Chain A
Amino acid sequence: MSAHHHKETFVTKYIFSLDHKMISKQFLVTGMIMGVIGVLMSLLFRLQIAWPEHSFSIIEAFLPERFQSEAGVMKPDIYLALVTIHGTIMVFFVLTAGLSGTFSNLLIPLQIGARDMASGFMNCLSYWLFFISSVIMVISLFVQAGPASAGWTIYPPLSALPQAIPGSGTGMTLWLVSMAIFIAQSLIGSLNYIVTILNLRTKGMTMTRLPLTMWALFITAIIGVVSFPVLFSAALLLIFDRSFGTSFYLSDIFIGGEVLNYQGGSPVLFEHLFWFLGHPEVYIVLLPALGLTSEIISTNSRKPIFGYRAMIGSIMAIAFLSTIVWGHHMFISGMNPFLGSVFTFTTLLIAIPSAVKAFNYITTLWKGNLQFNPAMLFSIGLVSTFITGGLTGIVLGDSALDINVHDTYFVVAHFHLVMGVSAIYGMYAGIYHWFPKMYGRMMNKTLGYIHFWITAIAAYGVFFPMHFIGLAGLPRRYYTNTNFPLFDDLANVNQVMTVFALIGGAAQIVFLVNFFMSIYKGKVASQNPWRSNTLEWTTPVEHIHGNWPGEIPEVYRWPYDYSKVDENGEYIFGEDYIMQTVPLKAGEQES
C-alpha cells in the first residue's frame, strides 16, 4: 500500500473520498435518510389499515393530491405503492447497503489491520452508485402515476403491465433502473471486501484469528456475489418483456378488453430467479447484524464468544444452505409438489445452524460480567427477536403448513422479527458501539437506554399480535379489511399495532437527535472506550489516512481473550481483556 500523502481538498475529503472511514460514514448517513423515508411510509399505510378510509391530515400533507381519493385518504394503488417502496427501501437500501456498506467499509481494514480497502477507487465508485440508485428510487416517488406498486417482490405480470396497476408504468421503470445500479454497487463493494479480507490481513492475522464480524461480512459478500447477478438477470428479462415485447414471463394475457401479444412465458420463472436472490438476501441482511452482535456481546460480557469455530461453521452452513432453499417462497406457486418436498427438507436443515447460533449467544451471557452499554442492550434484543422470528420459520418452512399461512400477516410477522427488527437492532448496536471510532466522540448513554426500551416494547407490540391476525387468515397487502365481515373483529388488534408503530417511530427521533448532536457535542472518546480486544481500537481517535501512524501492528492471538486467567485464577495481564496485539506470555496457552 502506498502511503497517501496527497493534498486534500474539500471535494476529495468529503465527497469523492477514497478513505474507507469516510465512505462508511457516507453509506451510513445515506442509509439513515432512506430509513427515515421508509419508516414514514410504513406509518402512513399503518394509519390506513387501522382506520380505513379515515381522513388524516398527515396523509394530506405528505401525499400529492392525485394520490388521494379524497382529502387525507390514500388511494388503494397508492397503499400498494407505499408498501412496495417501504419494503424495497428497508430491505435493500437500509439493511443491505446501509448496514453492510457502513460496517464493511469501516471495520474490514481496521479489524484485519490494513491501511485501506484493496481498491479505494472501487469503494468510492460503489458508494456513488448507491447514491445514484437512492436518488432514482426517491425520484420514482414523484412520477405522475405513482411509484412501483407490485410489492417488493415485483412479480410479473403485475409489474410488467401498466394496464394492471398504474405504478407499473414509469414508476416501475425507475424501480428497475435504480435496482440495476444498486446491484452493480453491491457487486463492486462485495468484490472489494472479499479481496481485502483475503489479501490484506496483517502479520499474524490468520483466518482463525479473525473476529466473527469479519467472518460474517466476508461470507455475506460472497453470498452477494453469488446471488445478486441472478436478480440482475431477472430484472433484465423483465425490462425486455416490458419494453421490447419479449415473452419471458408473460403468456396468454387478457387485460383491458384485449388479448396481449405474449405467448409461452411463465411468471413462475421469475419467481425462481427472484427468490434465488431473495432468500440469500435475507441472510445478506442478517449475517452482518449477527457478526456485529457477536463482537459486542463478547466484549460486553467480558467473556469469549462461546463456540467460535462452531459460529464460523454455522455461518458457512447458513451461507451454503441459503442458496438451495428459495423454493420455500413458492410452495403453492404451481411448481411441482415434489420440488416442494425437497425445499421443505433443505429449509428445515437451515434451522439447525441458526439454532446453534442462538444457543451460543445465550451461553456467552452465562456467567459473564455484563456491561449494559446501549450496544449491548440492542444485541440482546437482537437475539430475542431472532429466536421469536426464527421459530415461526419452522411453520412456514413446512410445505404442508405453509399452504394456509402463505401470504398472510403471519409471514409478515415472521420476516419482520427475524430479519427486519433483528437487523435493525444489529445496526443500532453497531452504531452505538463504533460511533467513537467513526466520529471520535461518544453517544449519550441515557438516550441510548430510552431509545432501546421504547423500541423493544414497540417492536413486539407491533409484530407479536401480527402472528395471530395472520392465523385468522388475514391476507397481507390488503388496502382495507372492511369488505370481509370475517375480519371485523381484527380491527382492534390492527389499531393497537398501529399505535405501537407510532410510538416506535417516534422513539427513533431520540436516536436521531442523539446521533447528530453527539457528532458535534458528544464527549470526546478515549482510544478504547469499551476495553475491547480487536485491532480497530489500536488506531488513534483522530482519523488519519492509512489508519496507523507507524507500522501496522502484528497480531498474536484470537480476538476473544476476555477474562483469561492463569492457574492461580488471576488475570494474565492484570486486566480482564488482552488485545490481539499482545504477544503470548511465557507459558500461556493460545486459546
Chain B
Amino acid sequence: MLALFYFFVAVAFAIGVWQVNKLLTYRVIFKEIKDGKKIITFENDNNPIATEKDNDIQGKLFLIFLVGFYLFMGYCLIYLHDLMLPDAASIEGEDYDNLYIITFWLIGIVQFITQALLYFFSYKYRGIKGRKATFFADSHKLELIWTTIPTVVLAVLILYGLSIWNDVTDLEGDEAIVVEVYAKQFAWEARYAGRDNELGRGNVRNISGANTMGIDMSDEHAADDIPVRELHLPVGKKVVFKFRSQDVLHSAYMPHFRAQMNCVPGMVTEFGFTPKYTTEEMRQQEDVILKVASVNAAREANGEEPYEFDYLLLCNKICGPSHYNMQMKIVVESEKDYLIWLNQQKTAKELF
C-alpha cells in the first residue's frame, strides 16, 4: 500500500517538474521587419490563461465528471445500502425512520437536480470566442421562487421533525421500567430500579468495594436496586434510561433503537424507547439477515468465526484511549424471560 503512495508522490512530483520546466522552453522566433532586417524574440507558447481549446476540453471534462459522479452516487446508494442499519427495533424508531426516508428522498432529489444543472451549465456554456455572455444581473421573480420553495419544504420538515422530537423526548407518564446506565472509562454498568421502580440516589463519592456505581445505601429506594453488567429488556414495554457518568463525557448509543444520549458527570440525563422485536425476532428480519450475511462474508475472508446479531450499547463520545472498545450487549426478550432473568440477579443489599 505504502509503495503505492510513494509511487503517487513520485508521479506527482515528476509531473510538476516536467510542466514547470516546459515554462522555460521559450521558442526563438524570427520576425521580419519591412526592410528585410530580422529581429529575434523569445516567446513561450504555454499560455497561462485558458484558451478556447482549454475551455472546450475542461467543459467536456465537467460533463464526464457529472456522469461519473452520478454513477458513483448510484453505486454507493445501491451497493452500500445493505451495510446500513436495519429498520428501527423500537416503536418510537418507526417515526424516526419515516422522517428519515422523507428527508433522504428530498435531499437526494435536490442533490441530483442541482449537481446536474451545475455541471451541465459548465459544459454547455464553455467559452467560445465571440460568444456574448448574457448580461443577467437580477430577477426578483426567480429569487422569490427559490426562497419560497425551500422555506415551505423546510417548514414541513421542521413541523414533522419537532412533533417526533416531542414524542421521543416526552418521558412522563405510565409505568415505564426505569434503568440506570452508568458509564466509566471504559465500560458500562447498569442498575434496575427493583420492586419499588425507583432508583436509589447515586454519587461517585459513595464508590467503595463492590459498590462501583456509588449507590447511596442510606436511601430507602436503594436496597432493592439491581446492579448488572448486561442489559435485558422486555419486548413491548417502555423503558426509561437514566444516564450517569463517573469520569468524563460518554455517549450511550443504541443505534438499532434510534437512541442516543450523552452521559454527563455531575448530572443525570435520560432517554426512553419501547423495544419492538426480541433479539430472536430481530435476527429473522430481512435486512438484518442481509447485513449479517455481508458481515460474515467479510469475516470469512479474514478466517474469523461467523457473527450472530445482537443489540448493542456503544460509546459515541470521545472519552479516552480505549473509547473504541466500550460496549455492552443488550438482550430483548419476552416479558416472562426478562422477569426470570431479573429475579436471578442479586440486589444491592445482597451484594454489599
Contacts and interface: CB of A to CB of B under 8 A. Distances in A.
Contacts of B247: 157, 161, 164, 253-255
Interface stretch (B137-145, B187-195, B223-231, B274-282): B137-145
A372 to B, nearest CB: 4
B115 A384 contact: yes
Nearest to B325: A483
B324 interface: yes
Given A344-B158, A344-B161, A377-B58, A407 B135 contact: no
Contacts of B316: 406-408, 475
A358 B114 CA distance: 9
A399 B165 contact: yes
B196 to A, nearest CB: 24
B107 A506 contact: no
A400 B137 CA distance: 40
A56 interface: yes
B125 A365 contact: yes
Contact of B46 (A56, A341, A444): A444
B146 A356 contact: yes
B298 A252 contact: no
B37 to A, nearest CB: 27
Interface string B4-22: 1100110111011101101
A398 B161 contact: yes
Interface stretch (A17-25, A72-80, A195-203, A535-543): A72-80
A238 B59 CA distance: 52
B133 A479 contact: no
A209 interface: no
Contact of A306 (B23, B76, B96, B138): B138
B197 interface: no
Nearest to A461: B72
Contact of B122 (A80, A370, A373, A387): A370
Interface in B59-108: 59, 61-62, 65, 68-69, 72-73, 76, 80-81, 83-85, 95-96, 99-100, 103-104, 106-107
A472 B83 contact: yes
B47 to A, nearest CB: 7
A320 interface: no
Given A460-B72, A503-B8, A521-B20, A267 B204 contact: no
Contacts of A527: none
B314 interface: yes
A373 B318 contact: no
Contacts of B260: 332, 403-404, 406-407
Contacts of B62: 380
Interface stretch (B232-240, B248-256, B336-344): B248-256
B24 interface: yes
B81 to A, nearest CB: 8
Interface in A341-369: 341, 344-345, 348-349, 351-352, 355-356, 358-363, 365-369
B110 interface: yes
B319 to A, nearest CB: 6
B165 A447 contact: no
A interface residue count range (under 10 / 10 to 19 / 20 to 34 / 35 or more): 35 or more
Interface string A487-509: 01111110000010011011101
A78 B12 CA distance: 29
A403 B158 contact: no
Contacts of A514: 16, 19-20
Contacts of B285: none
A365 B142 CA distance: 15
A518 B165 contact: no
Interface stretch (A119-127, A223-231, A285-293, A559-567): A559-567
Contacts of B352: none
B161 A399 contact: yes
B125 A471 contact: no
A73 B261 CA distance: 33
A265 B72 contact: no
A488 B295 contact: yes
A253 B265 contact: yes
Contacts of A254: 184, 204-205, 207, 214, 246-247
B150 interface: yes
B133 A562 contact: yes
Nearest to A435: B48
A537 B246 CA distance: 61
Contacts, number: 436
Interface in B154-206: 154, 157-158, 161-162, 164-166, 168-169, 184-185, 203-205
A303 B135 contact: yes
A394 interface: yes
B36 to A, nearest CB: 31
A398 B12 contact: no
Given A158-B248, A268-B267, A473 B104 contact: no
Interface centre among A264, A305, A394, A489 (most CB of B within 10 A): A489
Contacts of A442: 48-49
B320 A266 contact: no
Interface centre among B1, B68, B327 (most CB of A within 10 A): B1
Interface string A280-313: 0000000000000000000001111111111000
B269 interface: yes
A395 B96 contact: no
Contact of B49 (A250, A263, A349, A445): A445
Given A303-B134, A363-B142, A395-B107, A57 B2 contact: yes
Contact of A384 (B4, B9, B119, B146): B119
Contacts of A416: none
Contact of B255 (A264, A404, A450): A404
A253 B246 contact: yes
A484 interface: yes
B117 A480 contact: no
A142 interface: no
Contacts of B214: 254
B324 A483 contact: yes
Contact of B107 (A391, A407, A450): A391
Contact of A332 (B151, B158, B162, B251): B251
B136 interface: yes
A472 B321 CA distance: 23
19 contacts: A252-B203, A266-B267, A304-B137, A306-B137, A306-B138, A333-B264, A334-B264, A340-B165, A369-B131, A370-B126, A372-B54, A372-B127, A403-B168, A403-B260, A472-B83, A478-B324, A506-B8, A518-B23, A564-B135
Query: What are the 4 closest A-B residue pairs judged by CB atoms, nearest first?
Result: A251-B266, A513-B16, A442-B48, A506-B8
Interface of B: 1-2, 4-5, 8-9, 11-13, 15-17, 19-20, 22-24, 44, 46-50, 54-55, 58-59, 61-62, 65, 68-69, 72-73, 76, 80-81, 83-85, 95-96, 99-100, 103-104, 106-107, 110-111, 114-115, 117-119, 121-122, 125-128, 131-139, 142-143, 146-147, 150-151, 154, 157-158, 161-162, 164-166, 168-169, 184-185, 203-205, 207, 214, 246-249, 251, 253, 255, 258-262, 264-267, 269, 271, 291, 294-295, 297-299, 302, 304, 307, 312, 314-325, 327
